[in-house]
Structure 1
């Protein structure tokens, strides 16, 4: 019996020492209390506590946390009911504050976000809510950051995941967007037709201008030819008649070479033209 007592004492000492050894993992913290009062915070590594006098009050994760905010119905400034849910990203930087300054940190964050969503969206119209997602996120983040120091956290970001208006409003918005698309399509088509008409008019104008220019050049060429013949023949009337006859003969050749031409009817005074041509050839 006397031999058992020392063994028990040694066993008790070993167990006590082992109980005082704590291994704290990376990105974790242990809150240590001594006789019921906060004493210190243990971070990653091999740590020791005094058995029986000290105990671990809480284990806190220092990783970034994701908090889902459940969907809730909110009334906008123009009395439209929208369903909104969100998500918040935060990280504990002061474990002792997160444990002692707030009873339930996650519940407090959820309630703060939901309350601010109701306040922010309640002061905006439906159109503003649908167009101001980033503005809503920023306001929620600012509000959370105001209490974050007391809770020992930092708010990384908050995001509104979904803003869902009532079905009747969604249907009305869909019809409005469809009408806007049809309106834009009609405007685009009308502008296209107008542009085509302008281009056609410009083309017609250019063609007429080129035609007039060609006629002018042809007339100038004929005048030059008459002038040249006049210098050779020394008779402007005969020179003009010669050019007319030459063009007449050229036209007869074109008609004769045409596949559709069968009968060529010459005017009664055609011999005069040939007579002029023959005389000038001599």
Structure 2
């Protein structure tokens, strides 16, 4: 380090934004850098890793005027340090500026999410909550980019209805399951009846089947006591078909 210069170390996953007399100069990457040793130079460190913002207990009305609450995650990173610095109030502490940017991002994304969810019926929200996990839109990307940020994802954390509405959904689900079970049982009964009818038709038209049924009947009668049976010619049993 010389008398007229000083070393600046930018940590890993960080960008160093250099200002001279409050005017932007350059963005430094991780590593050691030499800058003039002057109070007119200032370096603000901004993290480049992805960050997570959790927004909870947001209340909105569905399309059919049912109130519900939702929470969501916002994942983002500072993509353009220079633009980012232009969009927030200057502060030597980079984290204060990050907080300000997050508040702006949260407000704009919240409006977009409310518009999405309020356009759905409560029943649709309940049935599609698993497919609504990703809420990121092109408009959200544009809002983030305008702040010098890259929006990585917007994910629905949870969505809850009032207790009485949850009970209605539970009863509706129970009714659907019962109806499905009744339908399956009815199909089984019809299939069984059809099988019995087909078997009866086979026994009616097949002489061997008729004879086996005849023997089975005799066996059942014999099991009940001592009986004597006189069985004549099978041709007589079949009857006169002339």
Q: TM-score surpassing 0.5?
A: yes
Q: 1:113 aligns with which of 101, 109, 118?
A: 109
Question: What does residue 145 of structure 1 align with?
Answer: 141
Deviations 1:228-266 (A, max 9, x none): xxxxxxxxxxxxxxxxxxxxxxxxxxxxxxx9578x99x
Give the match for residue 63 of structure 2. Answer: 77
Cα 1:121–1:213 change in 2 (3 A) is closer
- Does structure 2 conserve the Cα–Cα contact (< 8 Å) formed by 1:69 and 1:113? no
- Count of aligned pairs between the two proteins: 205
SS of the aligned residue for 1:49 comes to strand
- Corresponding residue number in structure 1 for 2:201: 205
Aligned in 2, Cα 1:78/1:261: closer, same or farther, shift over 3 Å? Answer: closer
Unaligned runs of 5+ in 2: 90-99, 212-224, 231-242
Higher Rg: 1
Paired position in structure 2 for 1:253: none
Secondary structure, counterpart of 2:36 in structure 1: coil
Q: Which has the higher strand share?
A: 2
2:155 aligned with 1:169: no
- The 3 A distance-change label for structure 1 pair 214 and 193 is closer
CA, structure 1 residues 129+96, in 2 after alignment: closer, same or farther (shift >3 Å)? same
Greater fraction of residues in helix: 1
What SS is found at the alignment partner of 1:123? coil
RMSD: 2.7
Partner of 2:233: none
CA distance in 2, matches of 1:261, 1:125: 75
Return the offset for 1:161.
1.2
Residues 1:23 and 2:19 aligned together: no
Counterpart for residue 53 of structure 1? 40
1:194 matched to which residue of 2?
190
Q: Which has the higher contact order (CA 8 A, sep 6+)?
A: 2
TM-score, normalising length: structure 2: 0.75
Taking the TM superposition and a 5 Å limit, the aligned residue runs for 1:233-252 are: none
Contact 2:108 2:143 in 1 (8 A): no
